[in-house]
């Protein structure tokens, strides 16, 4: 099995798990049905706006535009602080000002419906090209919830003896340096050579990348040959993923460096 075949197999597993799937070139800025205006963009703005209006019915267009603007301009000199700020938006909502009958009024806009996974759009895209500071970069699979890029999967050829799961780890570190905007919205990263698969947070060092061992619960540990299948079928089940985002992502104080995500 080569890397392209592994990518396609991963997309099939995501589809089995209720995710929509796309290939990057088919939704690229210069394609027939683009989902973003420029290769520098990492948000899928149209799906994002549609989700905001679906989850927050009755919002004026101006409020939707303000929420999207805040998401596109999350700013802090420390990357993990940008990520922390976005996570608060994702879990708690974004406060915007809208014109009331007599004065400006605050409105809290939710980005994700945590109570009903079916109200959200889960999309897996392979070969998602992002224009980096040195050259275009193309993560193997990027996962979106309502147009927000919440995870990156980097895969290596299972049959290539010169690459392994840690080659994928080092590739993710390169992405974090060269296409940093993609990781403002990051919740998890997966590295895999097909047989082995590990999950880590934005700031996780290699020793904190851990396997995911179950699909539903401790009694159903599958005997899958490829650990990547267990990760996709288990961790990325929509309901479980939303629970993880809402209740299990924490940011620990890490001295002068700021915060570390776990």
**Per-residue pLDDT tens for 190-210?**
999 988 999 999 999 999 999
Cut 0.85: pTM above it: yes
DSSP 27-87: GSTTSSS-SSSSTT--S-HHHHHHHHHHHSTT--HHHHHHHHHHHHT---SSHHHHHHHHH
Backbone angles phi, psi at 253, to 5 degrees: -65, 130
Q: Which residues pair with 130 in a beta bridge?
A: 137
Average pLDDT of 229-255?
90
pLDDT of residue 22: 98
Q: If you ran DSSP here, which 8-state letter would residue 169 be given?
A: H
Q: What are the sequence ranges of the domains in the chain?
A: 3-252
Average pLDDT of 78-90?
95
Is the pLDDT score of 161 beyond 60? Answer: yes
Is the pLDDT score of 259 beyond 50? Answer: no
- Structural tokens at position 243: 């629970």
- CA 192 – CA 25 distance, rounded (Å): 23
**Residue 124 in contact with residue 11, Cβ under 8 Å?**
yes
Q: What percent of the chain lies above the pLDDT cut of 90? A: 79
- CA 193 – CA 71 distance, rounded (Å): 33
Q: If you ran DSSP here, which 8-state letter would residue 29 be given?
A: T
E strand segments, 113-239: 122-126, 130-131, 136-137, 141-145, 148-155, 188-192, 197-200
Is the pLDDT score of 253 beyond 70? Answer: no
Locus of tokens 């700020």: 85
Is the pLDDT score of 257 beyond 50? Answer: no
């Amino acid at each position: 099995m080569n890397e392209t075949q592994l990518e396609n197999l991963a997309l099939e597993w995501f589809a089995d798990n209720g995710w929509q799937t796309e290939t990057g070139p088919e939704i690229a800025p210069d394609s027939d049905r683009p989902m973003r205006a420029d290769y520098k963009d990492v948000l899928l703005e149209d799906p994002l706006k549609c989700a905001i209006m679906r989850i927050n019915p009755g919002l004026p267009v101006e409020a939707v535009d303000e929420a999207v603007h805040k998401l596109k301009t999350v700013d802090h000199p420390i990357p993990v602080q940008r990520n922390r700020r976005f996570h608060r938006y994702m879990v708690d909502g974004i406060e915007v000002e809208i014109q009331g009958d007599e004065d400006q009024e605050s409105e809290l806009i939710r980005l994700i419906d945590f109570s009903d996974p079916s109200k959200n759009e889960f999309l897996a895209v392979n070969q998602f090209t992002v224009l980096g500071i040195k050259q275009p970069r193309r993560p193997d699979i990027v996962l979106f919830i309502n147009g927000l890029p919440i995870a990156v999967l980097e895969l290596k050829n299972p049959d290539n003896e010169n690459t392994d799961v840690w080659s994928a780890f080092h590739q993710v570190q390169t992405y974090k340096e060269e296409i940093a905007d993609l990781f403002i919205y990051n919740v998890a990263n997966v590295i895999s050579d097909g047989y082995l698969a590990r999950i880590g947070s934005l700031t996780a060092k290699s020793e904190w990348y851990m396997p995911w061992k179950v699909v539903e619960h401790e009694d159903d540990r599958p005997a899958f040959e490829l650990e990547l299948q267990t990760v996709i079928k288990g961790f990325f089940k929509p309901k479980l993923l939303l629970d993880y985002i809402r209740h299990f992502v924490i940011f620990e104080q890490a001295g002068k460096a700021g915060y570390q995500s776990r």
